[in-house]
Structure 1
């Protein structure tokens, strides 16, 4: 077995969180090795929208200009359409996301997920990190002197780094192997996504969200002719986007009476797979142990209906980096502030996403009437609106707004 002892940090998973952390640690002179099971990053329908607070995290990490130069696409407007509101009224209530720049927030940034992974992989290597792809048979043993065993290019290898960072996604192998408990909410609905080209005619600066009939729809442009589309739908409709013609049926669902110009989306050309997944939240109360720290989806993920995955990952990276650079004695206690901040952050985002899910991914006359009623009550200031948490960050709103009774009130309406 080939042994290596000269790497201070081993990061498992060379996706966005793992490669971003590898980049910023390597820039600080820390010896990092990235281990990745895939040979090529492919489109699995993952997060591609960075909220305003997530963009701010990339700025703090020194990665924003790199993303922008490589094709990162800013959005400027958000419109909430739907069958509970007249299109003209919805457009009169447009959210100008550039208005937050005076408060230090740039508008949302979109970029194809595999492209962002490839870009950050290259940045990590440029900064001095080592990247090994095609890794198999991974085994991690936690402890004061953690151990990482794996196979690469047919050779069994063993690392003894000072710290292992798990950035290996929702089904984290490392999390399971080191025994960190994951909590999980029940699935409320399903979500499908697909990248679509040839959407010229759809405004390149406009993202939309809304509910019509039995779908909750979302659209996030990546350029003047490319849009990432999503549809949330009921679990009882689980076969809706299954089968060989699922791409055509997915696009057909974007013939939306409530959205002017939706034909530009519905008539687009599929540019990637149409995949579906559950919306459930997961979280870990203590995303670290002796010699191991979890970041990104490995530490728990938010219901994707509010698109917080990338922003969560970049904040994880920033906090963990800062702690590691402030104190080079990487004992478990060092990461307690990260766990505490993340626990409350994820709780607030969990409640925010649940509000969106109950309000927008329940269907029928009663659900439509509830959406209209909540819209009116919010305009009067009689119902809490936690949606800004999904744009400018969960820590910006007062803690008392994130009260479970809000969900009870919604369900009772």
Structure 2
């Protein structure tokens, strides 16, 4: 819904809102809510209608939300509406091979009991998080949600940004934020180039039900074609993110459900007893893409529009939410100082904060995928010994646990305790 904007910082151009956010997925709505908390109005331009976004079959993913992301959603009054659907991740076990493989005795074991803050994170299905963010936007007077609308042009002037819409209308704001995914039109229109490549891997994603309780333990098994993640969900279910080469994934995904499970079972093992599908199956191509700049005149990128990485560490959404929290922090500070929230100095603060961290994370996930997605015996011995060495040193292990929880480094205000 519409709301009067906060105190004007610029004169000479009328604005429909302080921020125009292109992209109605997860990061776009989260940014709109974070901006509203800072007294800034937003218009979220979503290419899809709400009915599509809220359909159970729209996106089958479950997200491993780091503790810092949970804190942020709590500050935005979103977590309270989804907490009953979340599953705490009490432990993470990383092994080199499938479950039950006698050769996979060396690995990493992270236990939330080793840190004071509680569970490292929470597993939450997309369908619950997406609906909660949409409902929160509807309830926020400072946010306007435009559905089924696309941007065809953007024009930057000294006083603000004008976006031209496919419907024939236009909108004006102080700043435009691209939250429109890896093929970001916002970035392309700003002539921001990208660096990246395909991994020639596809993630097979589904939810399974199993006989034995998972105990809140997340598993990551590294196998030659790609990693297999088994992530705990409520009600004796787990989310599966299963990476295979493109050709193999296409062949597996074409199989009937029972044949699909017959391929999964030997990779999965029997440590959770008998398994069955608990919903639809999905596939997602895997690759790395990094915007060469996160900013342009009166423009910023967040989430996959800025960086898309391999899901090997489950950090894609967490990195996007950290972008959102950092940008909201920078814009709120600028507003309090009476600065133009889209000035080059303000936007550069955001880029300085986030670009190095995300580039490092992308490089790390790329290295891990290349290191583990093979069956070279020398590499296998080296990586197994390396994991065992980290696991044997409590201080190093706790450092990795805190990193997985997202509570290290310079945290934006929304992610602080």
The structure that is strand-richer by fraction is 2
Tell me whether 1:113 sits opposite 2:126 in the alignment: yes
1:127 aligns to what?
A: 140
Alignment match of 1:139 (pick from 148, 153, 161): 153
**Equivalent of 1:206 in 217, 228, 238:** 217
**Does the aligned pair in 2 maintain the 1:105–1:392 contact within 8 Å?**
no
- Structure 1's unaligned 5+ residue stretches are 398-413
Cα distance, 1:122 vs structure 2? 1.1
Instruction: For residue 237 of structure 1, report the CA deviation from its aligned partner.
Output: 3.6
Matches of residues 28-47 of structure 1 in structure 2 within 5 Å?
A: 28-39=38-49, 40-41=52-53, 42-46=57-61
Matches within 5 A, 1:10-409: 10-39=20-49, 40-41=52-53, 42-46=57-61, 48-58=63-73, 61-63=75-77, 65-66=79-80, 68-69=82-83, 71-83=85-97, 95-102=109-116, 104=117, 106-128=119-141, 129-136=143-150, 138-144=152-158, 145-151=160-166, 155-184=167-196, 186-212=197-223, 214-235=225-246, 237=248, 239-243=250-254, 245=255, 247-256=257-266, 259-264=269-274, 267-278=275-286, 280-328=287-335, 329-330=340-341, 331-363=343-375, 366-367=376-377, 369-380=378-389, 391-393=404-406
* CA separation of 1:33 and 1:258: change in aligned 2, threshold 3 A: closer
Cα distance, 1:286–1:83 mapped onto 2, change above 3 Å: closer
Deviation at 1:58, TM superposition (A): 3.8
Q: Secondary structure at the match of 1:208?
A: strand
* Distance across 2 between alignment mates of 1:140 and 1:249: 49
> C-alpha distance in 2, partners of 1:339/1:16?
20
SS at match of 2:227: strand
Output the CA distance in 2 between the equivalents of 1:342 and 1:8. Answer: 22
> Distance between the aligned counterparts of 1:262 and 1:359, measured in 2?
28
Tell whether the 8 Å contact from 1:53 to 1:391 is kept in structure 2 after alignment: no
| Aligned-pair CA distance for 1:249 | 4.8
Change (3 A) 1:353 1:249: farther
- The question of whether the paired residues in 2 share the 8 Å contact of 1:308 and 1:390 is answered with no
1:73-117 CA-to-partner distances (Å, cap 9, x unmatched) read: 211122224448965896896634322541x36422111113212
* 1:268 partner SS: strand
2:60–2:125 contact (8 Å) kept in structure 1: no
Contact kept in structure 1, 2:86 and 2:123, CA below 8 Å: yes
Q: How far off its partner does 1:177 sit?
A: 1.3
2:18 aligned residue (8, 14, 38): 8
Over 3 Å counting, the alpha-carbon distance change for 1:373 and 1:50 in structure 2 is: same
Distance in 2 (CA, whole Å) between partners of 1:70 and 1:13 is 27
d(CA) in 2 for partners of 1:70 and 1:142?
A: 44
In 2, the alpha carbon distance for the partners of 1:89 and 1:45 equals 32
Offset of 1:297 from its aligned partner?
0.5
Structure 2: distance between partners of 1:50 and 1:340 = 24
Query: Structure 2: where are the runs of 5+ without partners?
Result: 1-13, 411-417
Residue 11 of structure 1 contacts residue 32 of structure 1 at CA under 8 Å; is this kept in 2? yes
Paired residues of 2:295 and 2:301 also in contact (CA < 8 A): yes
Contact 1:85 1:372 in 2 (8 A): no
TM-score between both structures, scaled by the size of structure 1: 0.80
Q: CA deviation at 1:378?
A: 4.4
For this pair of structures, how many residues does the alignment match? 382
Offset of 1:353 from its aligned partner? 0.8
Shift of residue 251, structure 1, vs aligned partner: 2.9
Displacement, 1:319? 0.6
Q: CA-atom RMSD, angstroms?
A: 3.4
Single out whichever of 171-180 and 5-14 deviates more from structure 2: 5-14
